[in-house]
Chains A and B, each alone.
Chain A
Amino acid sequence: MIRIVTLAPFDEGDIAFLTRTLYRSFGVGTEHVGERALPKTAERADGRFDAVKLLDDAPPVRAFADDKVVYLTDVELSIPKGPLGEPPAWGFAVQGGERCLVSTFRFPPRGVSESSIEVFRRRLARECTHFVGHLWDLHHCYDPRCAMHPSWSPSLAADPEHDLDAFCREKSERRIRLAKT
């Protein structure tokens, strides 16, 4: 089961589209648990939120073995600086773990037109699929049409696909079949 927890107000239509997409991508039931308060302890001096700490401090929800929890937020995230600089953070997940965090801060503005809302929803679905994929032990994919392609890649389209490619889909299905429950 995939459980979605919102740490900011989200449109019901967006969440409904997201649950449908995650169900279609992984074949696992998906539900919206509800909205929780954003933990301010993860906020840094520059106004951004430490992604790792935010996920650690996120309010727990009732979940069973092999359940995956997706936290949705709209704040800017940061991750520790690496040897070549700090990659842009669209979210954070524990590889093979149970919880992940997705931020809509870098998404194109939702707007009010049907087309912009559609683009926003597709991007939300894509990023959530990406980070839930990490929870199922998937790595980044070189194919720009796959949802596991890095979110900042220059070869990614403006409105990227939100499906997994054949290899990643098979791998995730294998993992899900091997899950205890």
Chain B
Amino acid sequence: MAPLPDRSTRGNGFPVRPPGKRDREDKGEPDPALEGNIASAGELEPGDRVVYPNQGVCRVLGLEQKDIAGQRLEFVKLTREEDGASVLVPLQKVATIGLRRVASADQIEGVFHYLGASYDDPELDWKVRHRDNVERLIAGGVLGVAEVVKGLHSLARLRPLPAKERELYDGSRHLLVSEVAVSLGIPATIAEDYIDYALMPPAGVKLPLKPPPKPVELKGPPWKRKKPVSEEDDLGLEDLGLDLGSLEGEEPAAENAEGAAGEGAERTETASAGEEAVATPRPARPAKPEKKAARPPVAEKERKKAPKAHPKKAAKKPAPRNAAKKPAKAKPAKPPKKASGGKRK
């Protein structure tokens, strides 16, 4: 087994300093999840302690070459401290598997403040929860592991965990305990006592908590990400006293109004005087009741013609709902306001 190449040598293809790290430092935006990540095998030396995601704390032994399927491949050989199991990581994959250094004391302190902070909003959708937890364990660093433990712990307060999640909870707790123990240099049972002291302090004890570090931002592909509850969903129409149910019935009219408003806007651009611009869009508004009045018979006809098609149409209903929101967004562009602004000028 050969020792790992010297950090200062570039000839073997190991950069002295990982480019990713340099970029982050130049931007001045350190990502807590990426702190301590191993970007290339050149950063490793025999005897280093690293954390392999989902495996725990490992010790680097060195480089090893193996002939596999007629190819000579190089591996970084690690040994898991917990049970001495050997782990071989292909040299090219060192940067992509999420290998990282054991968390520093500062990071661990942040973890405890995170664990001690109040958290009453566990993810209830099991698919989203499972996906996030798996991603956090791989790419979230020690804080990601703590998030999994805390999230599942708070969920367990609401209801018993299913078998798979119970195993995940136990596994992530094991990873967290072993990393805290290694980082602070204490026995594992005491590390677990510290963790549970933060998670469920004894009655009457107030923990000296500081603001917890920001949770890890998951960087999966966008189609995998959970849709955040955006402000678009809550337009504050209820505060204005508008009934959304009645607006849904006016969807085509709203589209028409939007089109009319758009046309009106075009006209205002072409018009020279502000007063004309005020006058042009207003005739478009009476179109609403006409369409609204015309719609129910059409819908009734469709129901009579094709009753089987209704479920599909009902399923497609959310699409026009967005269309109904568009006019609300376009409101500021309405000609009367522009015109009034023009008058003021």
Q: Which residues of A does B touch, CB under 8 Å?
A: 52, 79-80, 82-85, 87-89, 92-96, 134, 139-140, 142-143, 150, 152-155, 167, 171
Contact = CB atoms under 8 A, between A and B. Distances in A.
Contact of A92 (B108, B113, B161, B189): B189
A95 B195 CA distance: 15
27 contacts: A79-B190, A79-B193, A80-B186, A82-B190, A82-B193, A83-B108, A83-B112, A84-B116, A84-B197, A87-B194, A87-B196, A92-B187, A93-B189, A94-B187, A95-B187, A95-B188, A95-B189, A139-B177, A142-B153, A142-B157, A152-B202, A153-B196, A153-B202, A154-B202, A167-B163, A167-B170, A171-B170
Contacts of B173: 139-140
A45 B148 CA distance: 40
Contacts of B201: 84, 154
A22 to B, nearest CB: 18
B109 A154 contact: no
A95 B205 CA distance: 26
**Listed residue (A134, A142, A152, A153) with the most chain B CB atoms within 10 angstroms of its CB:** A142
Contacts of A143: 156, 160
Interface string B145-187: 0000000010011001101001001100110010000000011
B192 interface: yes
Given A139-B173, A142-B153, A87 B193 contact: yes
Nearest to B177: A139
Nearest to A92: B189
B198 interface: yes
A172 B15 CA distance: 46
Contacts of A92: 187, 189-190
Contacts of B113: 84
A149 B203 CA distance: 15
Contacts of A95: 177, 187-189, 192
Interface string B188-232: 111011101110111101011100000000000000000000000
A134 B191 CA distance: 13
Pairs A-B, 5 closest by C-beta atoms: A95-B188, A82-B194, A87-B197, A154-B203, A142-B156
Given A52-B187, A142-B153, A84 B170 contact: no
**Listed residue (B108, B153, B198) with the most chain A CB atoms within 10 angstroms of its CB:** B198
B200 A154 contact: yes
**Listed residue (B109, B170, B173, B177) with the most chain A CB atoms within 10 angstroms of its CB:** B170
Interface residues of B, number: 36
A41 B280 CA distance: 96
A150 B113 CA distance: 19
Contacts of A79: 190, 193
B184 to A, nearest CB: 8
Contacts, number: 82
Contacts of A93: 189
Contacts of B193: 79, 82, 87, 89, 150
Given A92-B189, A95-B187, A139 B200 contact: no
Contact of A83 (B109, B169, B170): B109
A171 B169 CA distance: 14
B192 A140 contact: yes
Contacts of B198: 84
Nearest to A168: B170
A92 B197 CA distance: 15
B205 A85 contact: yes
A84 B190 contact: no
Nearest to A171: B170
B142 to A, nearest CB: 13
A82 B205 CA distance: 14
Given A79-B193, A139-B170, A142-B153, A84 B112 contact: yes
B200 A82 contact: no
B187 A82 contact: no
A88 B208 contact: no
Nearest to A83: B112
A134 B208 contact: no
Contacts of B109: 83
A152 to B, nearest CB: 4
A174 to B, nearest CB: 12
Contacts of B153: 142
A139 B207 contact: no
Contact of A85 (B156, B161, B192, B208): B208
Nearest to A167: B166
Nearest to A150: B196
